[in-house]
Amino acid sequence: MSKTYGTKKNAVRALDAVSMELRRGTFTALMGPSGSGKSTFLNCAAGLDVPTSGSVWLGETELSRLGEVERTELRRERIGFVFQAYNLLGSLTVEENVALPLRFADRGTDHASLRRVLTAVGLGEHAGRRPSELSGGQQQRVAIARALITRPDAVVADEPTGALDSRSGRRVLELLRHIVDDMGQTVLMVTHDPVAASYADSVVFLSDGRLAGELPRPTPEQVATRMTHLGEW
Ligand SMILES: Nc1ncnc2c1ncn2[C@@H]1O[C@H](COP(=O)(O)OP(=O)(O)OP(=O)(O)O)[C@@H](O)[C@H]1O
* CA neighbor of 42 nearest in space, from 7, 13, 80, 86: 80
Count helices and strands (H / E) in the chain.
Answer: 8, 10
Closest CA to ligand 1's atom 25: 34
Average pLDDT on 112-139 reads 94
Question: pLDDT tens digits for 48-82?
Answer: 999 999 999 999 999 999 999 999 999 999 999 99
pLDDT confidence tier of residue 95, bands split at 50, 70 and 90: very high
Question: pLDDT tens digits for 153-204?
Answer: 999 999 999 999 999 999 999 999 999 999 999 999 999 999 999 999 999 9
Q: Is the pLDDT of residue 233 over 70?
A: no
Q: Identify the pLDDT of residue 105.
A: 80
* CA neighbor of 95 nearest in space, from 110, 80, 76: 110
Look at phi and psi of residue 231 and say left if phi exceeds 0, alpha if psi is from -120 to 50, else beta. Answer: left
Query: Please, how many CA atoms are within 13 Å of residue 96, restricted to the half-sphere of its CB?
Result: 10
Instruction: Kindly state the DSSP code that residue 132 receives in the 8-state scheme.
Output: G
Closest CA to ligand 1's atom 27: 34
DSSP conformation letters of 46-81: TTSS--SBS--EETTEEGGGS-HHHHHHHHHHHEEE
| Most informative mutation of 39, 159, 188, 232 for ligand 1 (most atoms within 8 A of CB) | 39
Percent of the chain residues past pLDDT 70, beyond the cut: 99
Q: Identify the pLDDT of residue 104.
A: 84
**Of 114-118, 209-213, 229-233, the least confident:** 229-233
Q: Is the pLDDT of residue 119 over 80?
A: yes
Task: Tell how far the Cα of 229 is from the centroid of ligand 1, in angstroms.
Answer: 21
Cα→Cα distances 136→18, 139, 175, Å: 34, 5, 15
So what's the architecture of 3-229 in CATH? 3-Layer(aba) Sandwich (3.40)
Give the three-class secondary structure for 7: coil
Buried b / exposed e along 188-227 (16+ C-beta atoms within 10 A): bbbbbbbbbbbbbbbbbbbbbbbbbeebeebeeeebbebb
Task: Tell how far the Cα of 18 is from the centroid of ligand 1, in angstroms.
Answer: 15
Q: Identify the pLDDT of residue 232.
A: 59
Q: Is the pLDDT of residue 222 over 90?
A: yes
Cα→Cα distances 70→14, 46, 61, 85, Å: 25, 13, 11, 26
Task: Tell how far the Cα of 190 is from the centroid of ligand 1, in angstroms.
Answer: 13
Specify whether the CB–CB gap between 41 and 18 falls below 8 A. yes
Question: pLDDT tens digits for 15-24?
Answer: 999 999 999 9
Q: Is the pLDDT of residue 109 over 90?
A: no
* CA neighbor of 151 nearest in space, from 183, 188, 190: 183
Task: Tell how far the Cα of 56 is from the centroid of ligand 1, in angstroms.
Answer: 19
Q: Identify the pLDDT of residue 71.
A: 96
Look over the chain and give the mean of its residue pLDDT values, rounded to a whole number.
94
Cα separation, 197 vs 160, in Å, equals: 11
What's the pTM value of the predicted model, to 2 decimals? 0.94
Q: Identify the pLDDT of residue 89.
A: 96
Q: Which residues line ligand 1 (CB under 6 A)?
A: 5-6, 12, 14, 32, 34-40
